[in-house]
Amino acid sequence: MIPITPNPEASATPAPESESTGPPGLRTWGAVYGLVLVTFLIWVGLLTVLSGIFS
Amino acid sequence: MNALDYVVLFGTLLGIAAYGMWRTCGRKDLRDYLSGGGQSGWLLIGLSVMATQASAVTFLSTPGQGYQDGLGFVQNYFGTPFALIIIAVFFLPVYRRLNVYTAYEYLGQRFDTKTRLLGAALFLVQRGLGAGLTIYAPAIVLSTIFGWPLNATIICSGLVVVAYTVAGGSDAVSLTQKYQLGIIFAGMILAFVLLVMKLPAGLSLGDALTLAGGFHKLQAVDFSPSLHVRYTFWSGLFGGTFLMLSYFGTDQSQVQRYIRGASLRESRLGLMFNAVWKIPMQFFILLLGVLLFVFYQFEQPPVFFNQAAWKNQPTGSAQTAEAEFATAHAEERRQLNAWLAARRAGDQSSEKAAFALAATAHTRVEVVRDSVKTQLGKESGTPANDNDYIFITFILDYLPHGVIGLLTAAFFAAALNSKAAELNSLASTTVVDFYRHLLNREASDVHCVRAAQGFTAFWGLFAIAVAIFANLSENLVQAANILGSLFYGVPLGIFLLAFFVKPVGGTAVFWAAVVAEVVILFLYGVRHLIPALDISYLWYNLIGCAACMLFSLVIQAALGPAPKTPATPATP
C-alpha cells in the first residue's frame, strides 16, 4: 500500500475504530473473511450439485 | 389494478418518501448532507449497499432472465465476495483515514487534479446515464402493462425521488432504503409463496425442479473456458470480481453508502453482509423465474408477454401465430400431464417417453415464440425481447388484488432507492470534485449544501430526460450491466495503480486511462463486425483495468520517473 498524507480534517474528527470484529467466535478479520469465502464455496458447491442432479 | 392496489401502491411509496423527508430535512452541515451523520451501524450500511445495487431492474427483469435462460445468470455475481473483501481490506481503511467525501478525492491526493477529474467525470457520465436507465426500466414495463402514459410515469416517479433526496441528502437515502427494501423483500417472498401454491395439484417442488432441469433451466454453474459464452464460472469469477471491485470500490454511489459508518468495523461488516447474501438473493430471484417457467408449462402464457407490442401486429399473421402457439402448448401440457401421471405411478419408461414428447412440443412452442420475436423486432434488426414483462404478467393475471399493489410498490421502491443513492452521489461528486474544488474553494458549508441540493435536482432532471429518450433492445438487467462494464474497468485500473503501484504518476495514468477507455469502446463498437471480438461483456472490466495499468507503466517508462509528492491537496 502506498502511504498518503491524511486530510487534516481527518485528524480533527477521528473515526472511532474498534479492534473487535463483532461476530462471536471470529476474533480476527482474517477469520471473518475466511468465513465469507467458505460461505461462497458452499454456495458454488450447492449450485454445482443442483446443476448436476437436475441436468 | 383496482382501488385497493392503488391505495397500497401510493400509500407505501408516498408514505416512505414523506417519512424520509420529515426525518431528515433541514440538514445544514455538508458532511451530514453528503455522507450522513456517521452513526450508521453495519445492518443499515449493508441494507443500504444492497438496496443501491438492487434496482427495479433486479426484481422486474431478473425473474424473466430466469424464465428464459435459467439460473446461469447467478454466475455474474461470483466475483462479489472477493471484490468486497479486497475493498474491506485495502480501499475502505484508506478512504476513512483520509476522511474524503468522494473516492475521487483520493486520486487527487495520490496523483493530480486531472486524474481526479477524469475519474470523477467517468463516474458522472456512466452513473448519469445509469440513473436514466434506473428510472426508465420500471416505467417502460409498468406503463405498458397498466396503460399509463410512459413519460408521465417517468416524470412522476422521478420527481418523488428528487423531492426527498434534495430535502434530506444521504440520511434520507439510507433511511428510506431500509423501509423500501422491507417492502421489496416482503413482496418478493409473498410472490414466491403464492407461485408455489399455484403450481398444479400433484406437482411437488421436486417435480417442478426435475421438469425445469429437463428443460436446462437449472444449469447454474458452467465451468467451460469459452470467452464467448456470456455467463460462465470463470467470467463470473474473474470478470465479475473486476466489475464488482470497480462498482463497489470506485463508484461513488456505493462508496458513499459505506464510507461514513459509525466505525471501520461497522463499514466492513456492512460490506461482508453483502458478500454473504448477494449470491443467495440473486439465486432466489432467478429461481422464482424458473418456477414461473414451470408454472407456464401447465398454464398457457401469451405468445409474447409484452401484449401491448403484440396487439399492434396485423391481425392475420397474429392470429396464425397464436393458433400455432396454442396448439403446440396444448400438446406440451398434455404430454407433461402424462409425464406427471407416469411419475406418480412410478412408471419410468412412460415417464421418459412422455417427457421426450413434451420436449419436442416445447421446441415447437419456442419456434413460434422466436418467429414472433423476429417479426416484432424487424424494425430494429434484432429480435424483440419480452423477458422484462414475464413476472409482471404473472402478477397481474394470477395474484390477488392488494398483492398486485404491494408488488408494484416494491418495483417502484426498488427504482426509487437506487435512484436516490445515484442522485446523492452524482451531486456529491459534482459539488466536491468540480464545484468546490475548481470554482469556489472558499464556499461555506451552508452554501455547498444549497449547491448540492441544486445539483441533486439537476441530475434528477437529467436522469428523467435520459429515461424519456431511452430505447433499449437488450433485456433491462443486461443493459444495466453492459453499460457498467464499458466504464468500470478503467476507473478500477486507476484506483489499483493508486493503491498498489508506486512508480506511476498522474500524467501517465491520465493518458493511459483515456487510451484504455477508447480501446474498450472500440471493442464494444466492432463486436458485431469482427466475430473474434464478440466476447462476454464481463471481460471488458478486466480488459479495461489491465489495459489502463499496462499503458500507465509503458507511458511512465517513456516519461521517466514520476514526481514523489502528491500534486493536489485535499479539498478544504
The pLDDT tens digits of the residues spanning B162-213 come to: 888 888 777 777 778 888 888 888 989 999 999 999 999 888 888 999 999 9
In this prediction, residue B283 has a pLDDT band, given cuts at 50, 70 and 90, of very high
Q: Which three cell numbers stand for residue A49?
A: 450439485
CB-based contact B276 A39, cutoff 8 Å:
yes
B134 vs B477: CA distance, rounded Å: 10
Residue B499 has pLDDT above 70, yes or no: yes
Å between B98 CA and nearest CA of chain A:
4
In this prediction, residue B380 has a pLDDT band, given cuts at 50, 70 and 90, of low
Contacts of A13 in chain B (CB under 8 A): 99
DSSP structure string for B127-186: HHHHHHHHHHHHHHHHHHHHT--HHHHHHHHHHHHHHHHHHHHHHHHHHHHHHHHHHHHH
- Cβ-in-10-Å burial (0-12, 13-18, 19+) of B190 comes to middle
Higher pLDDT pick, B3 / B277:
B277
Q: What are the residue ranges spanned by the domains of chain B? A: 3-297+394-471, 307-385
Q: Tell me whether A8 touches chain B (CB under 8 Å).
A: yes
Percent of chain B with pLDDT over 90: 40
Residue B411 has pLDDT above 90, yes or no: no
Probe site for chain A from B272, B273, B282, B436 (most A CB atoms < 10 A): B272
Residue B80 has pLDDT above 90, yes or no: yes
> Are B74 and B283 within 8 A, CB to CB?
yes
Segment 15-44 of chain A within 8 Å of chain B by CB: 15-18, 20-23, 29, 32-33, 36-37, 39-40, 43-44
The pLDDT tens digits of the residues spanning A13-55 come to: 444 445 688 888 888 999 999 999 999 999 999 999 998 888 7
Probe site for chain A from B34, B40, B98 (most A CB atoms < 10 A): B98
Higher pLDDT pick, B485 / B248:
B248
- Tell me the mean pLDDT in the region B286-296: 96
In this prediction, residue A4 has a pLDDT band, given cuts at 50, 70 and 90, of low
CB-based contact A47 B213, cutoff 8 Å:
no
CB-based contact A50 B220, cutoff 8 Å:
yes
Name, in order, each residue with C-beta under 8 angstroms of B100's C-beta and a sequence gap of 6 or more. A7, B106, B259, B570, B571
Cα–Cα nearest to A29, from B190, B89, B71, B239: B89
User: What pLDDT score does B239 carry?
Assistant: 82
CB-based contact A54 B218, cutoff 8 Å:
yes
> Are B276 and A32 within 8 A, CB to CB?
no
Contacts of B220 in chain A (CB under 8 A): 47-48, 50-51
- Tell me the mean pLDDT in the region B438-453: 85
CB-based contact B263 A40, cutoff 8 Å:
no
In this prediction, residue B572 has a pLDDT band, given cuts at 50, 70 and 90, of very low
Residue B407 has pLDDT above 80, yes or no: yes
The predicted model scores a pTM of: 0.84
Higher pLDDT pick, B371 / B482:
B371
Q: Tell me whether A52 touches chain B (CB under 8 Å).
A: no
CB-based contact A47 B502, cutoff 8 Å:
no
- Tell me the mean pLDDT in the region B310-332: 85
- Tell me the mean pLDDT in the region B11-21: 81
Cα–Cα nearest to B166, from B355, B346, B427: B427
Residue B119 has pLDDT above 90, yes or no: yes
- Tell me the mean pLDDT in the region B70-79: 93
Secondary structure of chain A: what % helix, strand, coil (to 5)?
55, 0, 45
Q: B213 by DSSP, 3-state: which?
A: helix
Contacts of A30 in chain B (CB under 8 A): none
The pLDDT tens digits of the residues spanning B208-264 come to: 999 999 999 999 898 988 777 778 899 889 888 988 998 899 888 899 889 878 899
- Tell me the mean pLDDT in the region B540-556: 92
User: What pLDDT score does B191 carry?
Assistant: 92
Is the ipTM, as predicted for this complex, more than 0.95?
A: no
CB-based contact B110 A37, cutoff 8 Å:
no
Residue B546 has pLDDT above 80, yes or no: yes
Cα–Cα nearest to B6, from B405, B440, B487: B405
B473 vs A29: CA distance, rounded Å: 44
Probe site for chain A from B73, B85, B90 (most A CB atoms < 10 A): B85
Among B231-240, B272-281, B389-398, B437-446, the range scoring the smallest mean pLDDT is: B437-446
- Tell me the mean pLDDT in the region B273-297: 95
B350 vs B217: CA distance, rounded Å: 23
B54 vs B563: CA distance, rounded Å: 42
**How far from B565 is each of B75, B272, B276, B503, CA to CA, in Å?**
42, 34, 39, 11
* Angle, CA B449 vertex, CA B444 and CA B451 arms, to 5°: 95
Name, in order, each residue with C-beta under 8 angstroms of B560's C-beta and a sequence gap of 6 or more. none
Among B128-142, B264-278, B400-414, the range scoring the smallest mean pLDDT is: B128-142
B73 vs B384: CA distance, rounded Å: 20
User: What pLDDT score does B569 carry?
Assistant: 47
Å between B86 CA and nearest CA of chain A:
10
B397 vs B469: CA distance, rounded Å: 30
Residue B40 has pLDDT above 90, yes or no: no
Among B217-226, B381-390, B510-519, the range scoring the smallest mean pLDDT is: B381-390
Cα–Cα nearest to A51, from B213, B236, B64, B430: B213
Q: Name which CATH class applies to B3-297+394-471.
A: mainly alpha
Instruction: Give the side-chain half-sphere CA count within 13 A for B10.
Output: 8
User: What pLDDT score does B471 carry?
Assistant: 59
CB-based contact A47 B272, cutoff 8 Å:
no
